[in-house]
C-alpha cells in the first residue's frame, strides 16, 4: 500500500501484518478493529485527526502527534 491514497477508506478488522504504509494517505480512514497494525507503520503513513485508530494504538505516541 506504500504511497496509496486511502483517504476516507474503511479498513475495519483488516489485517495489516507486513503492510508497508510509507507515504500512504490515511486521512479520515476508519481503522477500527484493525489487526497487527503498529505505531511504526502508522508513523510512516499520513493520518489526520479524523483517522479512526484501533483501540490499542495511542495517537500521542505517533511521530508528529500534537
Rounded distance between C-alpha atoms, residue 60 and residue 39, angstroms: 10
What does the pLDDT read at residue 61? 87
Q: Where are the domains of the chain?
A: 1-57
What does the pLDDT read at residue 26? 97
DSSP letters, the chain, are -TT-B-TT-B-TT-B-TT---TT-B-TT-B-TT-BS--HHHHHHSB--TT-B--TT--GGGSTT--
Compute the residue count for the chain.
Answer: 66
pLDDT in tens, the chain (66 residues): 889 999 999 999 999 999 999 999 999 999 999 999 999 999 999 999 999 999 999 999 886 554
Amino acid at each position: 500500500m506504500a504511497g496509496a491514497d486511502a483517504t476516507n477508506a474503511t479498513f475495519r478488522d483488516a489485517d495489516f501484518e507486513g503492510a508497508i504504509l510509507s507515504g500512504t494517505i490515511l486521512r479520515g480512514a476508519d481503522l477500527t478493529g484493525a489487526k497487527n497494525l503498529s505505531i511504526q507503520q502508522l508513523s510512516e503513513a499520513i493520518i489526520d485527526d479524523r483517522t479512526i485508530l484501533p483501540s490499542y494504538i495511542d495517537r500521542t505516541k505517533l511521530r508528529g502527534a500534537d
